[in-house]
Amino acid sequence: MAKKSQRWKKGAILEINAYGHLCRAQMLRFPELAFFDPLQSNKLLFRLWGQQSAIYDGRWQKVGKDPVTVELTSEIPRFKKDAITGKISFYISGSERTASLEECEGLECAAVWEPEQVEDRLRDHCENKENKWVKSMAL
């Protein structure tokens, strides 16, 4: 079946084939997506900013729509790390400030992920492996 062009629609549920692992995500406020654990149905794995091409070209197919939960409507903090200076900053709602390593531990990196990187991350989660992309962006 040919993939069809799609638009961003908050609340839309996406089906993602991550190398044989069927995963789901929900579109949040553009360009954020919430990804759920295929092994534990509704358990949130992570939220990140995703490259829109996977949606627009139909790589990740819309399969439904659900209301976005209150938990997923609030903005979450992320970290940034300057590749040259190594300076770490705390980022939320368009604001950024210098931060300590401790403040940013456990936060998602403020980066836009390519579809292949997301699929690799989902596959590695399902196969209980360390993900090279998460590792490369770690503090």
Q: What is the mean pLDDT of each run of 10 residues along the chain (139 residues)?
A: 78 95 95 93 92 90 95 94 92 94 94 96 96 93
CB atoms within 10 A of CB 108: 18
pTM of the full structure: 0.90
Q: For residue 3, is it within any domain? A: no
What total number of domains does the chain contain? 1
The answer to whether 109 and 80 have CB atoms below 8 angstroms apart is yes
The whole-angstrom separation of Cα 67 and Cα 13 is 10
Q: For residue 91, is it within any domain? A: yes
Domain containing 27 equals 12-137
